[in-house]
């Protein structure tokens, strides 16, 4: 359990996240992920990184139970900083990052995928930000890199999800494949990238980040301020407690997809 790195092919590093049962990542996990991605990208022998996950889905966001158990706002601050570190590591990785997504990709998962250079997903993959139903805000900065502006707002306000095929139509998912073909499809794309000159691929990554119209670091940090404001007013605690206890939203039923995972006790 945790974050591991393997080298299945020359020039490619595969970073795998594994936090059962649903990959709701604890604070330490976000920092582990950040270190693994940065280490892989800084290795001169690596020219492409594949980011994937074991278990039931790609990512269910932060571990809300950890936040609820922690005294005061220490765990919330830790989660905010850990997510920022992991998202930045993916964005700033010296080589391209291919996200290989199976099942659900929610909350912090959107931050990872939205900062990746390419996305390969399975036919059953779904993407969304149920943040409002969890008493938080954030990662709209990264969802905006996957969908058009008005769809972003609908998804954010309603906590609905979109499928991999819908994102493929928008051009933000490169390929949609059966679950059993996910890693091979991701490695195929990574292999094509890794066949390039290592120095040039690093320069290309730096150049593309340099002309990016969105400052992902500033955007996400701005959003985090509203997450903390929600925590200080108490509204965040009410929603997190309702979710962790299995009662759903405190006001009315959620409109999220049925694929939205409920973390096991």
Cβ distance 49 to 97 under 8 Å? yes
**What is the count of structural domains for the chain?**
1
Task: Find the radius of gyration of the CA atoms of the chain.
Answer: 17
> Is residue 19 in some structural domain?
yes
Q: Chain-wide mean pLDDT for the chain?
A: 91
DSSP code of 132? G
> Is residue 72 in some structural domain?
yes
Residue 96 pLDDT > 50: yes
Residue 188 pLDDT > 70: yes
Residue 255 pLDDT > 70: no
Confidence of residue 248 (pLDDT cuts 50, 70, 90): low
Give the other-Cβ count within 10 Å of 4's Cβ.
13
State the number of CA atoms in the 13 A half-sphere of 152 facing the CB. Answer: 14
Listed in sequence order, the DSSP H helices in 43-135 are: 64-69, 74-92, 108-115
CATH of the domain at 63: 3.90.226.10
pLDDT by residue (tens digit) across 110-151? 999 999 999 999 999 999 999 999 888 999 999 999 999 999
Residue 254 pLDDT > 90: no
The first and second tokens of residue 142, run together, are 């990264």
Range of the domain at 50: 2-178+215-244
DSSP code of 21? T
Q: pTM for this structure?
A: 0.90
> Is residue 183 in some structural domain?
no
Q: Transcribe 149-198 into DSSP letters.
A: HHHHHHHHHH--EEEHHHHHHHTS-SEEE-GGGHHHHHHHHHHHHHTS-H
Instruction: Give the rounded distance of the alpha carbon of 136 from its chain centre.
Output: 15
CA–CA gap between residue 18 and residue 175 (Å, rounded): 23
CA–CA gap between residue 64 and residue 22 (Å, rounded): 12
> Is residue 107 in some structural domain?
yes
> Is residue 193 in some structural domain?
no
Instruction: Report the pLDDT averaged over residues 227-232.
Output: 85
> Is residue 129 in some structural domain?
yes
What is the pLDDT, as a whole number, of residue 230?
Answer: 87
Q: What is the dihedral of CA 56, 61, 66, 72, to 10 degrees?
A: -170
> Is residue 200 in some structural domain?
no
DSSP lists the bridge partners of residue 162 as: 127
> Is residue 185 in some structural domain?
no
């Amino acid at each position: 359990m945790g974050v591991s790195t393997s080298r299945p092919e020359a020039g490619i590093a595969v970073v795998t996240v594994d936090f059962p049962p649903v990959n709701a990542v604890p604070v330490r996990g976000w920092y582990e992920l950040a270190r693994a991605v940065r280490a892989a990208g800084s290795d001169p022998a690596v020219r492409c990184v594949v980011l994937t996950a074991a278990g039931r889905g790609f990512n269910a966001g932060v571990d809300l139970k950890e936040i609820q158990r922690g005294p005061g706002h220490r765990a919330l601050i830790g989660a905010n900083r850990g997510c920022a570190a992991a998202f930045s590591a993916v964005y700033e990785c010296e080589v391209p990052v291919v996200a290989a997504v199976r099942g659900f990709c929610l909350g912090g998962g959107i931050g990872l995928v939205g900062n990746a250079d390419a996305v390969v997903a399975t036919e059953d993959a779904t993407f969304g930000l149920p943040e409002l139903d969890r008493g938080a805000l954030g990662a709209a900065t990264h969802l905006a890199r996957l969908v058009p502006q008005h769809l972003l707002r609908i998804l954010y306000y309603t906590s609905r999800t979109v499928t991999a095929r819908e994102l493929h139509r928008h051009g933000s998912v490169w390929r949609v494949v059966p679950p059993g073909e996910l890693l091979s499809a991701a490695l195929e794309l990574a292999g094509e990238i890794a066949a390039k000159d290592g120095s040039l691929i690093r320069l290309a990554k730096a150049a593309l980040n340099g002309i990016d119209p969105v400052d992902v670091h500033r955007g996400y940090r701005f959003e985090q301020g509203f997450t903390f404001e929600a925590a200080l007013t108490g509204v965040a605690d009410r929603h997190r407690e309702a979710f962790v206890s299995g009662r759903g939203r405190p006001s009315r039923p959620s409109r999220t997809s049925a694929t939205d995972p409920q973390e096991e006790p």
